[in-house]
Amino acid sequence: MAAAKRPCCKPTTTTSSSGQNHKRLRTALPAAAAATAAMDDDMVVVVAPATTTTPPQPLLPGLPDHLAQLCLSPLPPRLLHAVCLPWRRLMYTPSFPPFLSLYALLDDADADAGVSFAAYDPLAGRWDALPSPPMPSPPPMLWHPSFLARRLPLQSVAAAGRLVLVSGSTQSLHPALSRPLVFDPASPTPRWQLGPRIPLSPRRWCAAGAARGRVFVAGGVGAGYDPAVARSGAVWDPAAASWEPIPPLRDGRFSRDAAEAVCSGGKVCMVNLRSRGAKEGAVFDLRAGRWEDMPPGMLAGWKGLAAASPPDDGETIYVVDEERGALTAYDWGTDRWRTVAESERLKGAAEMTVAGGKACVVAPGGGKVLVVDVTPTPLKVSPAARTESSAAPAPAPRMWEVAAPAGKRVVALHVLPRMTRPE
């Protein structure tokens, strides 16, 4: 027979008991005890284990996190990255001072795959893919059947901490971008946005660069050659809503090829050809708002790819002579170039960028990036040997390589703040 069930509570023997007393007593019982009393004697009660939440680990014990950030921000990024996971997470938040990373425009080994973008984290030693930009239709192309041995330029600029695409060509060799595409890696959610329409008309094969936080564009051609477009120029602050025109060039010589415009000493400098052939140069004075002739020494030594360090790093112009394998730096005071490094690995250089005391040079074929430390290294000598060592050559700068992502080729390269990651 089934076991008889016991009542929830035994009836009291006092004469003052009533149904309401029983009801009040049942209500006062804990829920777990009432449920247990209602079960059969032969049933087993399973009690769920209590769940406990682990409080987040503080950045520094005994300090609130906002004060801990102030204490940690002056430390070297490599040290912070090596200590613990909470510190590593902190380094990628929008509120923490960012370190510098490489940003590359990539060409797939499969020519039909199109362009892509990635950022190299020097602390983690890995490439992280950027979100795909909202390319127009038809999109810019890197290769064309009529130019089997030459890649079509897709010009990009690093300005105000942002990556900006300004110029490209479609399959029909028309300008591909009527508005610049802008990527801000430091925003809470890094993504691409469209900038304001470029003045006059979309253009390609122009001179493009960064001018003290602004995007600088001059020359180029539209769907066809137009003298007004070939002589025009404009600057754009990525935080502003429109471009600002600049005085026109003297002629349309900067419309035959893509050219680098580099800024140094408040002046934007550019030449119309990358190679060693006869070339013409131009200099735009940002403060005076006028075009000037390029100093003869600068023009004579401009024998390859050019890049300039940012304003907080001296604004020095560097050029790679891809035939000699030499990296040179320009001195405005003497109008001369000095050799910074010379190596077989610099021969045939394809692209270059400079920031943070490093010159990053894309090797032939785009399979790797050669990093050259251009920070001056002081010689540690005794006072007695200082006179003898003053004539000794400076030590060769350090060089190391960074491999491109698997199956990719580096087409263009920039240095920008690291990408923000969600916490």
Please tell me the distance from the alpha carbon of residue 419 to that of residue 92, in angstroms, as a whole number: 7
pLDDT, residue 273, reads 81
pLDDT, residue 92, reads 93
Q: Are 307 and 346 in contact (CB under 8 A)?
A: no
Dihedral angle over CA of 397, 372, 215, 96, nearest 10: -100
Please tell me the distance from the alpha carbon of residue 415 to that of residue 163, in angstroms, as a whole number: 9
How are strands ordered across the β-sheet holding 368-373? 351-355, 358-362, 368-373, 399-403
Q: Is 136 helix (H, G, I), strand (E, B) or coil?
A: coil
Dihedral angle over CA of 180, 181, 182, 188, nearest 10: 150
Quick one: tokens of 174? Answer: 């028309």
* Annotation: CATH topology of 133-294: Neuraminidase (2.120.10)
Q: Are 350 and 366 in contact (CB under 8 A)?
A: yes
Quick one: tokens of 348? Answer: 């045939």
Q: Tens place of pLDDT for every residue, the chain, 423 residues?
A: 444 444 443 444 444 434 444 433 344 434 444 444 444 444 444 445 555 566 678 899 989 999 999 999 999 999 999 999 999 999 999 989 999 999 999 998 665 567 899 999 999 999 999 999 999 988 998 887 777 667 889 999 999 999 999 999 998 889 999 999 999 999 989 999 999 998 887 899 999 999 999 999 999 998 888 899 999 999 999 999 999 999 999 988 888 888 999 999 999 999 988 766 788 999 999 999 999 999 999 999 999 999 999 988 889 999 999 899 999 999 999 999 999 999 999 999 999 999 999 999 999 999 999 999 998 765 555 555 555 545 556 678 999 999 999 999 999 999 999 999 865
Q: Are 205 and 220 in contact (CB under 8 A)?
A: yes
Number of Cβ atoms within 10 Å of the Cβ of 374: 22
Residue in the structure block whose two tokens are 């929830």: 8
- 308 half-sphere exposure, CB direction, 13 A CA radius: 29
- Output the pTM of the full model: 0.82
pLDDT, residue 422, reads 67
List the beta bridge partners of residue 330: 337
Sign (positive/negative) of CA torsion 318, 324, 326, 329? negative
Q: Are 363 and 322 in contact (CB under 8 A)?
A: no
* Ranges of CATH 2.120.10.80 domains, the chain: 133-294
Cis omega (within 30 of 0) for bond into 138: yes
∠ CA 63-65-68, rounded to 5°: 65
Please tell me the distance from the alpha carbon of residue 329 to that of residue 320, in angstroms, as a whole number: 9
Quick one: tokens of 316? Answer: 């020095």
pLDDT, residue 193, reads 95
Residue in the structure block whose two tokens are 């010589």: 253
pLDDT, residue 18, reads 41
Please tell me the distance from the alpha carbon of residue 156 to that of residue 163, in angstroms, as a whole number: 7
Q: Is 261 helix (H, G, I), strand (E, B) or coil?
A: strand
Q: Are 212 and 311 in contact (CB under 8 A)?
A: yes
